[in-house]
Amino acid sequence: MGFNVSDFSQSICNYGDNKIFASRMKTPIGEMLTLETHQGICLLEFSDRIGLDREVNAILQKTKGRLIAKENHFSHQLLKELDAYFEDASSRFKVSLELIGSEFQKLVWNELTTFPVGITHTYSQVAEMIGKPKAARAVGHANARNPIAIVIPCHRLIGASGNLTGYGGGIWRKEWMLKHEKEPGISDRK
């Protein structure tokens, strides 16, 4: 799907000359915005996410980048892999990522990528897994700042009570993906 930078937001700024390629893609659960550097995907978010323009600006500032409305190599690969995921949740993501965040955030995000499809964990469990058993709240904050939805499966984190907790893309999407992942090989497309 085409992307027009001027249509996205008047509040997007350019911070340097590094090219950050932006494109949109349709999924069964909504349109998504993707950003990529020459290293890999650095953002995959639902286009209707509140605060998306701030998230894009933060990435542009950290990368000293400027937004270019163009699909590029990694976005083509990501689109194929997302299509495969929505057909069969057990498919794996292999697209290169460029994680832009603190070392702690990257530690949490990398741990999330190890979660098997269809399995959920609590924030406390992830804190234990990364060797920081008292950092459940910090894990929650890192999870909330995950810039690469679905590929880094932050939707697989749940509250200690077993309840679904907040999700930037909306609880209904989290619920949809968890249901989709419980039935590998079965398409949820209509």
Q: What is the mean pLDDT of residues 104-132?
A: 96
The radius of gyration of the chain from alpha carbons, rounded to an integer in Å, stands at: 16
pLDDT per residue over 123-152, tens digit each? 999 999 999 999 999 999 999 999 999 999
Looking at the chain, the domain(s) classified CATH 3.30.160 span: 5-87
Q: What is the mean pLDDT of residues 7-31?
A: 86
Q: Candidates 3.30.160, 1.10.3470, 3.40.1710, 3.20.14; correct CATH number of 5-87?
A: 3.30.160
13 is catalytic: no
Q: Which of 188, 77, 180, 99 is nearest to 145 (CA)?
A: 99
Task: Note the pLDDT of residue 5.
Answer: 54
Looking at the chain, the domain(s) classified CATH 1.10.10.10 span: 103-182
Residue 93 · residue 83 · CB < 8 Å? no
Task: Note the pLDDT of residue 111.
Answer: 97
Q: Pairing relation of β-strands 18-25 and 32-36?
A: antiparallel
Q: What architecture is domain 103-182?
A: Orthogonal Bundle (1.10)
Contacts of 58 (CB under 8 A, 6+ apart): none
Contacts of 18 (CB under 8 A, 6+ apart): 37, 63, 64, 65, 66
Catalytic residue among 29, 154, 157, 178: 154
Q: Is 116 exposed, middle or buried (0-12, 13-18, 19+ CB in 10 A)?
A: exposed
Name the residue with tokens 């209509």: 190
